Structure 1
Amino acid sequence: MVNPMTGVEACQGPAPGSVRRRGAPMSYGWRNSAHLCSRRGSVREGTETLGKEGLRFSVLGPLRCWRGDTELLLGSPRQRAVLAVLLLRRRRPVTAGELIDAVWGDEPPATAGAVLHTYISQLRRSLETRQGDSPDGRVIVSSPHGYALQGLHAGSLDLDDFEQRVVEADDLAARGEPARARDVLRTALAMGEGTPLAGIRGPFAEAERARLGELRMSVTEKCLELELECGRHREIVPELAALTAAHPLRERLRGLLMVALYRCDRQAESLAVYADIRQVLDEQLGVEPGPSLQELHRHVLRNDPLLAQPAVETGVPAQPVVPAQLPADLADFTGRTAEVTRLEATLRAAGRGTAVPVTVVTGMGGAGKTTLAVHAAHRVRDAFPDGQLYVDLRGVENDPVNPADVLAGFLRGLGSADAHVPPGLPERAAHYRSVLSGRRVLVVLDNAHDAEQVIPLLPGSAGCAVLVTSRSRLGTLHASDRVPVQSLDAETAAGLVSRVVGRDRVEAEQQAVRRLVALCGGLPLAVRIVAARLAVRPEWSIAETAGHLEDEQHRLAELRIEGLGVEATFWLGYRQLAEEQARAFRLLALPAPATLGLAEAAAVLDRPADEVERVVESLVDAGMLESPARGSYRYHDLVRLFARARAEDQESTAERDGALTRLLDLLLATTRNAYRLIRPGQTVPDHVRPTAAPGPAFTTEQQAYGWGAQHLTAALQVVEQTAAIDPGTAADLVLVLDPVLHAEFRWNDLVPVARTVLEHARRTGDRQAERRLGYMLGGALMQIEQLGAARELIDRALLLCADGTDEVTYAMTLNVLAILESRAGHGDRALEVYNLAMTAARTAGDEAVEALALGNVVQIRLDRGDADPALLHQAERQLAIYERLRDEHGTVMAHYRLGQVYRRLGRPADALAVHQQSLTALGPSGSPLMQAGSLVRSAEALLDMGAASLAAQYVRRGLALTRRLRWSRLEALAIRVHGDALAQLGDSAAAAAEWHRSIGLFEKLGAASAAEQGRRRLEAMAEQPPRRQAS
């Protein structure tokens, strides 16, 4: 029956035909909310005395939980579905079978029981403040009857509060206080944010979502009926119009709109509403409107005075309010001085121009964007006396907040009554800008999803300012400033630990603290979590805690406390990725190098470079990947661990191995191309395995060498990582890295990698890989003076070369054997082996290897003190070969030998000239090995020419390079030459000290003849009369 006061039939109203006269008591049968709770207060029965103060849940929007002011992470959608069942069963036990049916429906997976147990365990860890078997120590308890929630304090569930307010409104309406009843219902309706249980799937969630949605709509209708009773028909027409458009089949809403329009003297429009629903019902359902709506239609047609507005004056104008919605600042906020200063300057600039300053703070999850924004906002509160608005837009969750809902909340916070909040987004945005006009308000939009979510929330008044935080870069948002938030540096991170844990503990274990923050990658969330764990565990040592973090498999699991975890933060971002992005995120984390270029990323993903660039740049924009330079990409260390774990979970072994071997293939192709330019006469590149990728082409030797030097570490990492997958290709990559390894003197880095690959080559019976690795590893050990181990490997490699299938490797291995013979003092034997090497090189058609052996022959003869003029011919022959081959590196080596020969033959000026020629050719970015050698040899020539001061400068530069390279043999020579320079300068004591140092190094290296030269210098000095040091 139609309620004459509102014109709409109540759910349990008077019998048909009875019409209440104006002013008669109203009978809202449905207001007796028996469907909400059987008796008033029963929804909270028995909960007030239980513990867990501060734990609050929300189901009227997305399922969320807080302890105090801290929101807890509740896990995956299905895990949250389990919690939803337990919450809405109101402490009644739920069996495992019922939970499985509620979450998965009729077709649960075979592992549903085990998964359910995992969900319960994870929820307990998130919700409970302590572990233990005592029932009062748990939120989720188990019994023979199933699982249940206990210990929730009064008001812990928003649905309870919602229902209690509906009951309260019933009482107020029954006492004749419609305005107060309406206000209570508006408060209840403001509690929900979005769709109930948003993002949760399963039959139970779907049913509850429908129930709660219907409950909310019924309460909305009740509230609007009260608005009519209060005479606010004009104010609610826009809201009713929007609601009827959204729910075209709800007759009660149509009736309320008809009454509201009628009371606004809009009878024709009221009748049109009826005509519209009649048509809709007929077309969609084939039925007529219900009896109550038909009766209301008749009342409107005849201008029934019973529909006239009630003589009730209600509502008090909303008082102006100054919102102060900022979350609390952190007392232990640490660092970020530059960022805070920058934000303050931008925000305080509000009002100086015509545009609203909009500042965007971006960074990966856990970087501390919110903490920084809130801290900066508090520092500038004085500049915004009209208030500060704050909202968490939940941009990385499955259901980001609708900007229309945000505007409704902001408008209420600014003093607008609910009835004055327009229904649609454009209308709300316009009203919001009007309310803010002329006011100085700071708006903090935290955790934005994209620019589309933010733009409607921007004020129009230049006196306001906006501070946005987002993992996304929000490139389409017009921002006054963008402040990227990076990880904390080691000192700042340690300072944060000190403020949380206490200075005394940190000072007692400073080294452990440095290791701790390094393992956290300086990520503020990780540092804060581990510091909080230490703070509540004073018996834990920092070193012990850092030790637990050393294990990469469990590091992320260690970085969590009371439902807050680094891994959960990463999950939020990961779930936002499209499948193409997610695959790239997983696979690009597999290679060991810290940074990948675009070409390497394309190889890993097996996609064209332009397509890959689009995908990886979108990951950068989403804050899941970093880009230190254009075309260069890297992960934060903790994000890499997370991404690798996802790859382990979601990618097959074949796919993971394929990603790595494609990268190995690209590196082999590229390094092979570089080898051809660095050593153009050598045929090694022609004898490595063919590659699927052509690799980039280089145009100059300097370009090729520069690429090799820059990528050497990464190449060695990939070699070691793929050793077990493809030892043959890995061995070939080691082989073609030889020129760069030699130029950079990185033999110490090669040794462990080559040993790993060699082990796998032997295990798989790959003889070619074994002999090539034997040559490379043997040569590396020889360079770092491990001569015995080098000899064993070289002998084994030569044995494997006996089949005659790899003449180039054979020739190069003989060259190393000759050096070993020479170092052992077997000069004659060394010369014989060099002759064999030159013969093998000629057989292989490799002139460059022949020239290399020829140069080593010259070196042996020089080391033996030979001053035969024929040496000049051999040195010039080596130089001629390299020049003919246009081998710039070989030419520098030949000049090095030729300069030594000139000096031996008493031609120091010629020696100096060729060494200077080498230094000019090398330039500042050339091989540091050859630079060091040329500098030291130039110093020797300068000493012969009496230029001791200049010689000292040269040798000191060379000495610095040798120490950086860790080349002991050249370092010993440089020290001795430095002593020679000091002696010429008259500083005998310093010269003697240097000679003593060189003798010690040469003896350690087993270089007896070189050590003897130093002793002869000391003896000669002892025989000379003392002389004063030059001034």
Structure 2
Amino acid sequence: MAGVEQTMWIELLGEVKAQAGDHEIVLGPPRQRAVLAILALRANQTVSRAQLIDGVWGDAAPASVEGSVHTYIHGLRRALSIADDVVLTRSGAGYQLAVGEHELDVSVVESQLSDARELARAGRGSAAADLIGRCLALWRGNPLSGLPGPFAESERVRLSELRYQLVEERAELMLACGRHRELISELCEAVEAAPFREGLRAQLMLALYRSGRRADALTEFEAARRVLADELGLDPGPALTDLHLRILRSEPELDTPTETPARTRSPVPAQLPHEAPDFIGRTEELDQLEQWCSTTRASGKALVISAIDGAGGIGKTTLAVRFARTVLENYPDGQLYLDLRGFDPNRAPLSTSDALGHLLWALGSARRRSEPDALASMYRTLLSDKRVLILLDNAVSTEQVRDLLPGTSNSLVLVTSRNRLSGLVARDGARRLTLGLLTEAEALELLRNTIGGQRVDDEVTYAAELVRLCGYLPLALRVAAEKISGDPDTSLRELVENLHAVQDRLDNLHVDDDEMTSVRSVISWSYTTLDTESARAFRLLGLVRAPRIDVHAAAALIDRPLTETSEILHALSEQHLLEPDANRYGFHDLIKVYAGEMAEIGETAEMRRRASRELMVWYLHAMRAALLRLIKDYPLPALRIPPSAHSLPEFETRESALTWYEYETKNIVALIEHAAELGEHELVWQLAWCTYNSFYSTGLMSEWIQLLTIALASTEKLPNPGARARILMFLGIGNSRLGRNDLAVAHLKRGLAAVREIDNSHLHSSMLANLASTLREMKRYEEGIAYALEAVELTTHESSHYQKAGCIDSLCELYVESGRPEQALPYAEIGLRAARACDAVLLEANMMVNVAHAYRDMGDSSKAMHEYEATLELCRRLGDRYHEALALLGTAELHRRANRYPPARKFALLALDIFVELDGEEADVARELLSSLDAEAAS
């Protein structure tokens, strides 16, 4: 760079080059240049041979790779020797490239970007923009162009993302200081190169608008909408949509240079688990994590990924949660936590699609796509301009995690795993932190915190032996420390002798899993001192596949009164054999393994089966009770299973029932899989049937379909066509929600054939109504109306109100949508009475919207307006945003037909705001209405 004395200059932001003074250095073949790139991007740090091999060859390293590394290092050292000093040296077990801050283009960018941000904070935005412009000028094409290997691939992505981040940062500064005309050309190029980056598109739209080119700005929004829909199946995000609306309104604030596009606030998740109260040590690890994050934030890099690996029980999650809570203020857009179940002894690891579904739901998205690529794109889009802390716990592999990483995002990702996630390091730029055992001093400190410092100091030799027998493993130490603290009269010498004896007795249980060795010993030590009932409860809890259960469920499992069960669970948690979380209890997975082993030894096969079945029966009756509390007259299927002898939870309010139901659905999933293994097929399908409301509301259709597939297999082993029909109906609904309407129709028609074998008018009509609704979505109106009419005809005076309302609702929608509104009204009157009689408020709101639509389409604008207003009042009272938006959109169309364009625009914009917030597909309908209003008003 000008004005700075250099002996060397290395360029990575394009084809890799180097020069010393005026002389270009010949860097050799691609792999040799790839080695240089790794050393340069880790300048002044020691890079091991293993890191070079992973970065250049990845998993395809040949047997002779060590010799190749030596050859390339020798070649680089010879090439770089024309510089004044030798800059590539051997250091310890690796190599180090000495590079000054002004001798590497990437370092110059990072340094000048930091200076630019300081200028911006000081109010010198124009100067900051110019400095970022000089940074951008250092890019000469695709970074690390032509280099092979995982490291180059991941760095190309990172450095390309950094460039776009700089473009956006510079554009924001220039817009703020009125330099919008200068921006248009370069933003057009940037948008063409990166059409999915909504931030760039918004800046271009604003620059065009401020330059007097309103029509061009609106055209850019339409281009964004088309490309997002065609390529990703997405609508534009809230920020871009909001700017579009403000441009349509020609809001005066948009002309003010200091005004930037308003952002619609998304839900802010806060999902971090609670922090361990007895956290000890790990100061070096915490400092390392903080250093990585601070360095990355200062350099302007978009994403920090830290992979924490180590043995089970070593404290990975505890460390990750502790660090996450220390840096929360740097991530104001929320915290996501997801247990990927990589090492759960009873449940399969989460698939990428299911994991993305959970994360998208936490971010407020009602997803409509099921393909992993589409879900990943949606996830990256939602995080693109956010600072979110994401803790991915218990990952089994790099492949499980990779699609859960944000793209362009100022976020922090913490990943924990018992496996070394080498792929994240080599390809995705993660920093690996391998967690070791506690030091003896840290382990003794944990003992002091639990049993008292004086006691440790009085028997320091035996205290040291105790922590050694615990393997310095935090989990084992916590269990042992609690055991000791509960027996203050026993000396540490006696306890150490007892533990030696216990270990001798466990030799026959030892398997090749080192992490279990010390844990098994310590848990056994605690387990053998439990009273009979507590030991039995511990064993039976080891059978439970569900992650956490409450005291009511545990009472059913162990067949003890509620009060006694509560005391047992509390005693087990006091000894760290159970982990309490609010009013539920669960195991650490290693302790769960041990509890399962003890169940196999201490309980007969029949006793294990009986306890598991009793828990499943209890859950089935509890779920049915919750559903009846949520909706009066809910059509529960006939139950051939006697009720549990143990009390069910009491739901004082509808909200408490809903909260319990939504949480416990997670447990039901695990129980269904277990029930299928035990051959409890009646329980399998009945439990699966109870999950409808939860899965339908969360939109996790792929998970639900997997569960229903298990249930369908169980129904085929039962002489019960009704059970098979119910599950087929749900499979039809789930597939229809994912847009697989042909498959949905196939399931529903198969279910219809099954239900015609039995005399069940309610199930028969429900099947017909769902088939009719699916055909309506396919615009096969005549077929749909035929099935809906058949459904309504099956209802009688004795039919439940819920049955009547559901069938009529489907028919009304078909009549209105197919242009026969006058035929919808007589049915709607009956359907509304039925919906109100059973408090089915969603059905009531949907039918009220269709009544209003019917009057509107019949030309009775006065009655239509009255019905829309009544619907809006109901929806706002209920907080039903979806049907509120439908009513607003209908009101807008009513005004449009009367040529009242200003109120039509007002209501259409209100509807669009809600549909965008809900990620509703009707947002496109609202946009089309707004476009037609523009065209009609202009003509």
TM over 0.5: no
Interval of TM-score (by shorter of Structure 1 and Structure 2): 0.3 to 0.5
TM-score, length basis structure 1: 0.41
